[in-house]
Structure formats: structure tokens, C-alpha cells
Structure 1
Amino acid sequence: MSYSRDNGRPGASPGDTGKPRRRLKTKPLMILLLILFAGNLLWFIAWLIPNNPGGNEEVASVSGKEITRQEWMAAMEEQHGRETLLELVNLQVMETAAKEYDIKVSDKEVDLELAMMRSARDGSEKTLYSADEERMREKVKAQLILEKVLTKDVVIEEAAIETFYQDNQALYDIPDSYRTRMIVLQSTEEAQGVIEELENGSSFEALARERSIDTATGSLGGDIGYVVPGQSTVDAAIANVVASVETDKWSEPLTMADGRVAVITVTDKAQGQTFTYKDVEGHISRELALEQLPQSVTPEAFWQEFDTEWFYGE
């Protein structure tokens, strides 16, 4: 949900079915925030690993020359440390802002945002779910706090909210969606070989990293996010069968439009639901209020107010 905005206004894409509808504006911001998280996740995990007291534990070697944990951690801090710390600081800043401005964010509000993200169906959600579920919920909550603080004094007429809902009601009818991974191969024979390995107990995620010729998804363990049956932004061979694949099982080889062959698995099913006007009234009001803001505002705008200091000292 952290949102990218153009000309001071949130931006997003409509769904891929039915007549064009007005898509809620701020959803793509989450994409930027979560892609950032995916980029520094390795550093974050490594930070949680207990350190050797001396920091000289060997973690790798090349031709007898060792690479120590200290060198490893220093390299990761240099590459990803700033972004990771910025993320953690901003989460804390938003928690402090919520207390200062008496802002409440319910689990139901977070659930709505996540459901809207899953239903985007514009291809951008593929990278969203590489993040840990709980961390993602924290980020969504922090962004909601920011939006509520920014719009707390903006008044939106109820008639405008009702009109938006009536014009865009289909946006709130969320279909079932399926968390999907895929392994892409050159031939059916290779796909059958992968299936045999899966039947013998191999990890789908590990095979995707090792064997998939689609490097973008292979690096994510084959994760392509949540897929809706019939989704036009996913190859038809996958979109047409995803609902029939049993959770934690895998498909037969699927020949895609470009001639490559995929094997998919479904790791989770998100039950579809329909949100009523009462469910989304506050959501719509906030979205319309955000459109009236003259420019984008980030959590850093509150650092001085909450006496924030950090390692990088800027």
C-alpha cells in the first residue's frame, strides 16, 4: 500500500474485466514499499542470526581464502542497511503518530486493503507477497495511519462517497484468489522431470530457484502472487486451471502462449468476499480526501515532530 503519486495524486490501474472503472488511487504505493522490503529481506534475516562473539566465524571460502561473518554483515549493511533502518524507523514514527493523534486502525481495515491489493489484477501485485504476511500487515497499518493523519481535517460530503460507491461497486466484489508459484521450463519432458522430483519430496520453491527459466519469478521461488481465475494479466494456461489445483499440490505440465511449459502450485486460497457500503465508507472517504492533498507526504515529514534520530544522522 505505500503509494506512488503523480502530480501529488495517488495513481492506480483498473481491473481487467468488465467496463472501465475508477480504480482507487493510492493502492500502488504499497508496491513501492513492499518491493523495497523484498530487496532488503536478506539483510534483515541475517541480522536476526545470532552473531559469533568475535565476528570471525567463517561463512564461506574461495580457494582456501575465508569470508567471515563480520565481512558478510558489513557488506549487507552497506547495501541494504539504510533502507531497512528507514523502514523500521518509519513504522515506529507512525505508531507514535497514531498515539499522538488518537488514530485507530482496525484489523478489518487492514483486511480490506489486502483484499483490494489481491484483486488489483494489473500484474503489479506479483511482487507484493514476497514479504512476510505479518510484516506486510504492519506496513499496511502504518500507511493507513499516515493517510488518516493527513486527511483528518478534510471533509468529504456523504453524497460524494455514495456516488463513488455506486459507480465503482464492482471493485468491492472480491473474487476468490489463489497464491500461486510456477516453474517455467523449455519442454513438457523437462516439466515431467520436475513433477517426478516433486513427487519424490523436492521443494517446489527450491526447484523454481534452481530450474525455472523465468528468472524474475524463479528468484522468488516461483511466486507470482495471487491469481484470479480467468485473469487476463496471467497466461491463460495458468489462469484457467489455478482454481482446480489442490493446495500444496501441483498441476500437470501447462503449455503457455509463448511455447514454454509451466508447472504451478497453489499455496493458499484467499476466500472472495463482497464489501458493503458500510464496510468501505471510511475507505472511500479517505481516498477522496487524499486526492485533495496538494502533494505527497511521507512518514519522514513527522520525524522532527517526534524527535527522531537515527544512525545515518541526516
Structure 2
Amino acid sequence: MSRRFLMALIAVLLITNIATLMLWTRSGPGEVVEDEASDMQIDTKKPVASIDGDEITYEAWMAALRDNYGQKQLKTMIDRTVVNKLADQQGITVHEKVINREIALLASMQGVMTEEETEKMEEKWRDEIIYRYQLEALLAEGINVSEDDMRAYYDQYHNQYNFTESIQFSHILVEDQETAEKVKGELDNGASFSLLAKEYSIDEDTRDAGGYFGYYTTNSQFLPNGYKEKASEMEEYSYSEPFLTDQGYAIMYLHRSMPEITFTYDELKPYIKNELALVSSEVSLVADSLWDTMEIDWLYNK
């Protein structure tokens, strides 16, 4: 994975977190606001913290957020508006496979999330990914890259754009079928998979983590025998019937199942062209130069 691509992924994660913080500032005095990340209700009339009787008010907290992140976040919002407008005018779109591949990479860096948390996070990632690729296309406009250079780059690096089929799962491993059926019955009655794993599982490597195994590519030598096949029969966010493994009887919980994504040269060509153009011209991936194409008046230039 290239340094440029890795830094872009990190930027998506950082921007997403900062944007989440700034959602809290959209309130007036005396209101209850919701932290979308945790579904927590925040009463703006009450202190947000107390240290030996010294209180930190909601207003002081918001002022600190504005001081530290306000200008940066407002600039980010302007950048996105500029890029969105220019991309719409020029018909710049991002291939769905490219978006899905980057979402898959970002998801594979996360721990366990609920289905609702996953949907919210992927929606934010999608916006950031589209913005970044549209920004690259706009900045690379007018910079020539030869067909030979693009083809050579694809031949050497195309595998870094592919995504290998992967699953994220937990399991409960027990010694015999009778115990497995007992655990399955408790699951059917609404018991927590994680708590049952801590109570029953004989897998010492995952038991204390509630049975969590992690993300594995389906061709990994560390994926237990039979788990790939079992996962292929399951829906995400569901658990399996007990099944026999090399180590005993297992019940598998499938958090995520992400398919393989591969690209042809023609599918990647516009993105390779943009990347090579920006590298060769040493153009930074920022939207500042695009502001000149529009009339912009904002708080911090007064």
C-alpha cells in the first residue's frame, strides 16, 4: 500500500472524527442535543464535567471546540462545497467499485460495530472518499500523463487496489455437541454471544475477548478449517448452528462478510492518471487553489 494512499485513509478517519465533534455545536442555550456517534443525549443547561466541585459548562466546552476546530471545520465545509459544485459542473463521478473497495479497507481497520453503527460510519466514509477522488480529478486536470506510464504503473501496482474477500467473526468453541446445543439454546433465548463465549468457550486465545477472532481473508492459513464455508452460508450479524471443527464444536457469529474486489486497467486508468499527475507535479491534495474559481466570503477573511 502506497504512503499516499495510507495517508488518505488516515485523513478520512480523522476528518470523520472531527466532523462528529462539530455536530455538537449546532445547538442553542437550553437545548438537548444528541451525540450521533453514541446516541447520548446532552443537556446543554447542565455541566458536562465536574472536578472536585469545579464545573465545566457546555458553553465553555463548545467555545473550546470552536477555538480549536472551528476555522478548520468551516474551511473543510467550504472545500467540500467548492469541490462538489465543480465536480457536478464537470461530470466527475467516482466508480462504485472504488468506493466499495475503500470502505472495505476502512472497515477492516475497525473492531466490532453494530449494524447501525456500521451504516452510519460507512455513510460518512462514502462522502469523504467521493470528495477525495473528485478533488484529485480536479487538481490533476490539464496535467498530461503518458499511456505508457499509466500502463507500467498498473502492471506494477494493480494488486494494491484489489481487495481480498474477508470475514469478521467471533466464535464459541466447546468440547462436545451437547454443550454446543446448550449454548445455541441460550443464544436463541436472547443471551449475549460475547458473555456466553467468556463462560463456555475453550479457546483461550479469544475467550476473554468474548470470542472475537477478528478480520481474516478467506485464503488465510490462520482461518480455521470449515469457517470460510460456514460463513458463506450465513447472513451478517447472525450466528450459526453448531458445527464440528478440528478442535471441537463451534458456533460462529459473522459480523461482516466483504467480497473480493478487483479492477481492470480501464477501470483504474482515470485514478492512476490522477495519482501520477499529482505526484509528478508535486501538487498537494488540498482544495485551496480551487477557491479562485468561485466567489467565497467567509468569517475568517474579514
Matched with 2:262 is 274
- Distance apart, 1:169 and its partner CA: 4.1
Q: Which moved more, 1:168-177 or 1:77-86?
A: 77-86
Letter in 2 for 1:30: A
For the pair 1:118 / 2:118, whether they are aligned, the reply is no
Counterparts of 1:36-115 in structure 2, within 5 Å, are 36-40=14-18, 43-44=21-22, 46-47=24-25, 52-53=30-31, 57-58=45-46, 71-72=57-58, 74-75=60-61, 78-79=64-65, 82-83=68-69, 86-87=72-73, 89-100=75-86, 102-108=89-95, 110-115=96-101
Q: Over the residues paired in the alignment, what is the CA RMSD in angstroms?
A: 5.2
Counterparts of 1:71-220 in structure 2, within 5 Å, are 71-72=57-58, 74-75=60-61, 78-79=64-65, 82-83=68-69, 86-87=72-73, 89-100=75-86, 102-108=89-95, 110-116=96-102, 118=104, 125-126=109-110, 132-178=121-167, 180=168, 201=190
Separation in 2 of the partners of 1:112 and 1:293?
Answer: 24
Separation in 1 of the partners of 2:28 and 2:253?
Answer: 34
Identity %: 15
- Distance apart, 1:60 and its partner CA: 7.0
- Where in structure 2 are there 5+ consecutive unaligned residues? 33-42, 112-116, 175-179, 197-208, 242-250
The structure-2 alpha-carbon separation of the partners of 1:244 and 1:30, relative to structure 1 and needing over 3 Å to count, comes to farther
- Where in structure 1 are there 5+ consecutive unaligned residues? 1-12, 14-23, 208-217, 253-262
Show CA shifts across 1:258-304 (max 9, x none): xxxxx984333332233222211111111221221325242345456
- Helix, strand or coil: the match of 1:174? coil
Larger Rg: 2
Separation in 2 of the partners of 1:135 and 1:120?
Answer: 11
- Distance apart, 1:151 and its partner CA: 0.9
TM-score, normalised to structure 2, is 0.59
Separation in 2 of the partners of 1:176 and 1:144?
Answer: 24
Separation in 2 of the partners of 1:204 and 1:83?
Answer: 40
The structure-2 alpha-carbon separation of the partners of 1:80 and 1:265, relative to structure 1 and needing over 3 Å to count, comes to farther
Separation in 1 of the partners of 2:288 and 2:9?
Answer: 18
For the pair 1:228 / 2:220, whether they are aligned, the reply is no
- Distance apart, 1:155 and its partner CA: 0.8
Correspondence for 1:292 among 275, 280, 301: 280
Separation in 2 of the partners of 1:81 and 1:163?
Answer: 47
The count of corresponding residues between Structure 1 and Structure 2 is: 257
Q: Could you tell me whether the CA contact under 8 Å between 2:25 and 2:62 is conserved in 1?
A: no
Q: Could you tell me whether the CA contact under 8 Å between 2:101 and 2:162 is conserved in 1?
A: no
Which has the bigger relative contact order, CA under 8 A and spacing at least 6?
1
Letter in 1 for 2:254: V
Higher helix fraction: Structure 1 or Structure 2?
2
Separation in 1 of the partners of 2:147 and 2:288?
Answer: 32
- Distance apart, 1:200 and its partner CA: 5.1
